[in-house]
Structure 1
Amino acid sequence: MSTEVRGGVSPRRPPPMAPMGGLRYGLMLAIVLLGLGLLVGRIVILHVVDRPFLQGQGDARTLRTDPIPAHRGMISDRNSEPLAISTPVVTLWANPQDVPEDPIQRLQLARALGMELDDLDARLERFASREFMFLRRQLTPEAAQRVLDLRIPGVYRQDEYKRYYPAGEVTAQLLGVTNVDDVGQEGLELAYQFYLAGEPGQRRVLKDRRGRLVRDLEVLREARPGGELTLSIDQRLQYMAYRELKAAVAEHDADGGVVVMMDARTGEVLAMANQPSYNPNNRAGLDPRGLRNQAIVDVFEPGSVMKPLAMAAIMESGQFPRDVVVDTSPGWMRIDRFTIRDIRNYGRLDLAGILEKSSNIGMSKLVLELDDPLVPDLYRRLGFGQSPETGFPGESTGTLPAPVRWSRSQWAALSYGYGLSTSALQLAGAYTAIANHGERLPPSLLKLPEPPPGEPVIDRAVAHDLLRIMEESVQPTTGARRAMVPGYRVAGKTGTVRKTGAGGYVQNAYRSLFAGIAPVSDPRIVTVVMIDHPRGDSYFGGAVAAPVFSRVVGSALRLLDVPPDQRSR
């Protein structure tokens, strides 16, 4: 039987699907679905699980926390005149990796920074692997802006403060200095670092990938300025004391010198001048000797300026009447294996004469008759061999040997200022006991709100008598006549002491001193002058130090408006 085909075409059934084709389709579908699942899972992890980490990493590249510099506290004198202030400056830094290598731009940058192009290129090459280097520290805002106006990529600014000292070399050793980071390194800047230094603040800022500021966002913590320090120094007296000291050192070709002036009623230091000195605003080529505050840090044998203090112990002993007379002939005496001498034979001298003539023989004979070690005991009560407790870094205690098995020659040497050492500040502090009715006042470098209580160390009547005796030593006919101040009564004592070296006392090397009080009727100031190694024929205290005392004290009394107390002759 035959099959009929219509239209000439025979119908066909679709071919059955091969078994392997269905497997491949399922596999591909599974792979696609798995990929979609992994992608969705990763998106979930990034947006949910890792979101805090990624957010922090993103913010670290855009949100920054910048410090807000703190203003260092001002130091002023007792009349609120500035002695140390902080001024705003700009530090320029660079990311060496972003600074273009274009020679024209680098030349412009070098010129604006005041550098040679080769030096700039060398520095950029040295820090090429880093992202930070200083270009210039502490420029004035105007000078820094001239560099920034060049708009050279990779150059940025950082705001800072720099210390400035209006009085310059006049107060250099007392104030000290700060370093480039505004941290105290010397003097009162170091002593009061934690008080003067402020606490930096913080701010959140938005920066681009090159570190450039886009926008300030918020202040996280305000900067806290440092505390202000008011010194006891009177800037007017400080300038005047420094000027006279510098002139005297130059006149006598001396190695240096010191002037310390204290308020006889409060113990406040009104002036403290040192030579040599330096300019703290420009320390290029400074003399290292000028860094030391010799008035507090350096010590020396004081010599004859100690005789009034030893005389106080003699007068307090009660073993000698006020009109006692001592025979100093023949002008020398032998004690143990040593010979003590006066400049010449002064013969018979009373107490005033011993101080006026500065007789080593007279002092030695009186001290050697004392039953107890009254002189070193009084010296100790006056503060010798102890810290002045001013808080100044490196302040010296001096030396006062304990009286254990001392020889007679050592007892005698103490009476005329040998065998111990002191600073100029300690010596001035001891003289306040004579000026202040027998009560010693501790020295203060800070202005005091009220006078402190004095420490009674000398009998009141003895202090008054001693002040009058010392006044007789500063008269037109005495060796201390150059210390006289026109219109005012002055009490004081000269001193000339040999300098010591590695091998003992140095030949032809002296220190010239004068310590005095004025005015005698109502003491206001105590002043110590020391000139170190004056050269030439004039090296005695009465010729070198006394004239400085006269000029300094005379000017100070007039500036303080102290009425004259000298009767017309």
Structure 2
Amino acid sequence: MMQLDQALYPWRFRIVIAVLLAMVAGIAWRIVDLHIFDHDFLKAHGDARSVRHIPIPAHRGLITDRNGEPLAVSTPVVTLWGNPKELAAARERWPELAAALGQDARTLAQRLEQNAGREFMYLVRGLTPEQGEVVMAHRFPGVYSLEEFRRFYPAGEVTAHVVGLTDVDDRGREGVEKAFDHWLAGEPGQRQVLKDRRGQLIKDVGVARNAKPGKTLALSIDLRLQYLAHRELRNALTEFNAKAGSLVIVDVKSGEILAMVNQPTYNPNNKRSLEPAAMRNRAMIDVFEPGSTVKPFSIAAALGSGRWKPEDTVDTYPGSLRIGRYTIRDVSRGGVLTLTGILMKSSNVGISKIAFDIGAEPIHAVMQQVGFGQDTGLGFPGERVGNLPNHRNWKQAETATLAYGYGLSVTAVQLAQAYSVLGNGGARVPLSMVRLDAAPGATQVVDPQIARTLLGMLQAVVEEPGGGGARAKVPGYHVGGKSGTARKAAVGSKGYVEKAYRSFFAGVAPIGEPRLAAVVMIDEPGSGGYYGGLVAAPVFGKVMAGALRLMNIAPDNLPPLPEKQQAGALPATGGRG
């Protein structure tokens, strides 16, 4: 037995020794393999513990007006953030940090204590690079900086409703900034750095991915016209103590919106004082019954039916018309009026009798074709399409109210587009908030001869005595348009608000070769009157006078020169004939 144990013992020992030697050999081979053949493995794991990627912010695209004037630009700013865990080890420097940040020491201490278990919190955002350098020069432990961009709007409140604004993370939140966020926002890049276990920067390895800046966006807005419209609309609200207002100017040939202003407005550069009511782009979001401004389209339906001619007459005496339990009334006592006279006197009775003759369907069709109740295609955030009712069986009251602008709702932009159709020879072009290099394709929706006839009627409304639009005249130019006054519908209940009105004026200029269509809406004028011809027409006249001159559009209503001046102005043609 003793001999058997002695015989087996050496084999056990040799097996253990062999296993140990094999393990040592395996470890040695792995060391050699990692350092010579597979060294990327160690590098990758080391990098995973020390390499970090710092985002490189992308420069947001520039927004300009149609002439290249900047409307929104991005400026570099510095954001300071802290690691509360690291800052907790230096509590004695918290008061110094608060002073450097310009914050209350107690408030900062409370924030740091509340976030003690985290490794990231914002300290302050939007500092200038110089301010950021001053704070970082103190070398506070756990305080780091990030490069970002902040949006600045040179035109401020003048273009606020069109351009909109971005949030603190530079993402579009209102207006064009939101509608074209995919175009304006760039793609952030990445910078690769090495950091130690405490998060301190050891080495800047280099750029891993370059940031791609956003694209420039040229709007259709003309900043000169925008300033002009803003000033005149603001003055009108002050003069008549009105609640709000909107003004839109459209190029009738291209469909480009050249100006769009609203009151009240706001300053997008000061986000601390923003009020939701002031931020609303009323020209696109607020809907209203357009009143008498739609009567030209009812006349267009009458002329298109073949049953009416411009010289035909309607007896509107005694200025009222009873329909069941409703009574339609005119401001004047009426009389026998031509179709032009109905527009000049803005006769509800006259347009109602025409509507009864041709029916509501042709009027509805024309209004739909010029854009009422339709999406404009602008893609503006929150834009509304209004409402154009379509009844299976039209009652007389519904037919009459449609003809003189009640029972439907439109936006100021839709109304401007409708008048641009008349100015463009009855052709409708899509609206655009972006500058176009070429005019888009047009769709003929109103007979060209009817459109030209209506322009003549609208010119009479402004230029003929008793037309109601005399305050919209523009010296040196023939203009045409139609005023309107509508009661304000009650919100949340049926009926209308007592003694609350909206005043309108919509028109085209110059009549000889139309270029511009404009709409003015004044909400609840409180003093000095409320009729559209009194309140809104003067704003149209002043804005259109300035716009025609700024755009170098030739006058078409200059008085002829005296014969002597004409003879003296002729150039001498001496010598050879």
Secondary structure of the equivalent of 2:108?
helix
1:321 paired residue number:
309
Does residue 500 of the first structure (1) align with residue 493 of the second (2)?
Answer: no
Residues 365-404 of structure 1 aligned to structure 2 (within 5 Å): 365-370=353-358, 373-404=361-392
Does residue 433 of the first structure (1) align with residue 421 of the second (2)?
Answer: yes
AA partner of residue 274 (structure 1): N
2:511 paired residue number:
520
Residues 90-129 of structure 1 aligned to structure 2 (within 5 Å): 90-99=78-87, 102=90, 105-129=93-117
**CA pair 477-320 structure 1, distance change in 2 beyond 3 A:** closer
Shift of 1:358: 0.3
Q: Given that residues 222 and 258 in structure 2 are in contact (C-alpha distance below 8 angstroms), is that contact kept between their aligned partners in structure 1?
A: yes
1 CA distance for matches of 2:522 and 2:506?
12
Q: Given that residues 173 and 290 in structure 1 are in contact (C-alpha distance below 8 angstroms), is that contact kept between their aligned partners in structure 2?
A: no
Shift of 1:197: 1.0
Does residue 349 of the first structure (1) align with residue 340 of the second (2)?
Answer: no
Does residue 270 of the first structure (1) align with residue 258 of the second (2)?
Answer: yes
Residues 81-480 of structure 1 aligned to structure 2 (within 5 Å): 81-99=69-87, 102=90, 105-370=93-358, 373-475=361-463, 477-480=466-469
Shift of 1:322: 2.3
2 CA distance for matches of 1:418 and 1:457?
23
1 CA distance for matches of 2:497 and 2:390?
26
2 CA distance for matches of 1:271 and 1:512?
19
**CA pair 97-78 structure 1, distance change in 2 beyond 3 A:** same
Q: Given that residues 344 and 466 in structure 2 are in contact (C-alpha distance below 8 angstroms), is that contact kept between their aligned partners in structure 1?
A: no
Bigger drift between 404-413 and 103-112 goes to 103-112
Shift of 1:297: 1.6
Bigger drift between 58-67 and 207-216 goes to 207-216
Does residue 544 of the first structure (1) align with residue 562 of the second (2)?
Answer: no
2:559 paired residue number:
568
Q: Given that residues 435 and 523 in structure 1 are in contact (C-alpha distance below 8 angstroms), is that contact kept between their aligned partners in structure 2?
A: yes
2 CA distance for matches of 1:33 and 1:372?
105
AA partner of residue 133 (structure 1): M
**CA pair 219-336 structure 1, distance change in 2 beyond 3 A:** same
2 CA distance for matches of 1:76 and 1:250?
30
1 CA distance for matches of 2:354 and 2:339?
10
Shift of 1:354: 0.7
Secondary structure of the equivalent of 2:85?
coil
1 CA distance for matches of 2:311 and 2:149?
65
Shift of 1:245: 1.1
Bigger drift between 37-46 and 138-147 goes to 37-46
Deviation string 1:437-480 (CA, Å, 9 cap, x unpaired) is: 11122211111111112211111111111101111111264321
Shift of 1:104: 5.6
Q: 2:477 aligns with which of 480, 488, 492?
A: 488
Secondary structure of the equivalent of 1:90?
strand
Normalised to the residue count of structure 1, the TM-score between the two structures is 0.91
Q: Given that residues 509 and 533 in structure 1 are in contact (C-alpha distance below 8 angstroms), is that contact kept between their aligned partners in structure 2?
A: yes
Unaligned runs of 5+ in 2: 1-11, 561-577
**CA pair 179-381 structure 1, distance change in 2 beyond 3 A:** same
2 CA distance for matches of 1:471 and 1:53?
84
Bigger drift between 454-463 and 476-485 goes to 476-485
Deviation string 1:460-504 (CA, Å, 9 cap, x unpaired) is: 111111101111111264321111112211100000000001231
AA partner of residue 556 (structure 2): D
1 CA distance for matches of 2:215 and 2:396?
54
AA partner of residue 474 (structure 2): V
Does residue 64 of the first structure (1) align with residue 52 of the second (2)?
Answer: yes
2 CA distance for matches of 1:328 and 1:514?
24
Shift of 1:339: 0.7
Shift of 1:29: 13
Q: Given that residues 206 and 217 in structure 1 are in contact (C-alpha distance below 8 angstroms), is that contact kept between their aligned partners in structure 2?
A: yes
Deviation string 1:372-431 (CA, Å, 9 cap, x unpaired) is: 721101111111111011111222111111131110111111111111111111111011
Q: Given that residues 234 and 271 in structure 1 are in contact (C-alpha distance below 8 angstroms), is that contact kept between their aligned partners in structure 2?
A: yes
AA partner of residue 479 (structure 2): V
Q: Given that residues 258 and 529 in structure 1 are in contact (C-alpha distance below 8 angstroms), is that contact kept between their aligned partners in structure 2?
A: yes
1 CA distance for matches of 2:516 and 2:534?
22
Secondary structure of the equivalent of 1:120?
helix
Shift of 1:62: 2.2
Bigger drift between 232-241 and 126-135 goes to 126-135
Q: Given that residues 264 and 436 in structure 1 are in contact (C-alpha distance below 8 angstroms), is that contact kept between their aligned partners in structure 2?
A: yes
Q: Given that residues 256 and 274 in structure 1 are in contact (C-alpha distance below 8 angstroms), is that contact kept between their aligned partners in structure 2?
A: yes
1 CA distance for matches of 2:277 and 2:319?
40
Deviation string 1:12-63 (CA, Å, 9 cap, x unpaired) is: xxxxxxxxxxxxxxx9999999999877766665675797665434223322
Number of residue-to-residue matches in the alignment: 546
**CA pair 36-279 structure 1, distance change in 2 beyond 3 A:** farther
Deviation string 1:234-274 (CA, Å, 9 cap, x unpaired) is: 01111111111122122222221100000121110000001
1 CA distance for matches of 2:41 and 2:119?
24
AA partner of residue 568 (structure 1): P
2 CA distance for matches of 1:47 and 1:177?
60
1 CA distance for matches of 2:25 and 2:114?
48
1 CA distance for matches of 2:95 and 2:28?
50
Secondary structure of the equivalent of 2:81?
strand
2 CA distance for matches of 1:200 and 1:466?
55
Bigger drift between 470-479 and 301-310 goes to 470-479
AA partner of residue 506 (structure 2): A
C-alpha RMSD of the superposition: 2.5
Secondary structure of the equivalent of 1:98?
helix
Normalised to the residue count of structure 2, the TM-score between the two structures is 0.89
Secondary structure of the equivalent of 1:526?
strand
2 CA distance for matches of 1:320 and 1:539?
33
2 CA distance for matches of 1:535 and 1:276?
15
Secondary structure of the equivalent of 2:496?
strand
Q: Given that residues 373 and 403 in structure 1 are in contact (C-alpha distance below 8 angstroms), is that contact kept between their aligned partners in structure 2?
A: no
Q: Given that residues 100 and 153 in structure 1 are in contact (C-alpha distance below 8 angstroms), is that contact kept between their aligned partners in structure 2?
A: no
AA partner of residue 84 (structure 1): A
Secondary structure of the equivalent of 2:172?
coil
Bigger drift between 301-310 and 289-298 goes to 289-298
Q: Given that residues 66 and 205 in structure 1 are in contact (C-alpha distance below 8 angstroms), is that contact kept between their aligned partners in structure 2?
A: yes
AA partner of residue 497 (structure 1): A
What percentage of residue pairs aligned between the two structures are identical? 50
Secondary structure of the equivalent of 1:257?
strand
2 CA distance for matches of 1:140 and 1:269?
36
Secondary structure of the equivalent of 2:84?
coil
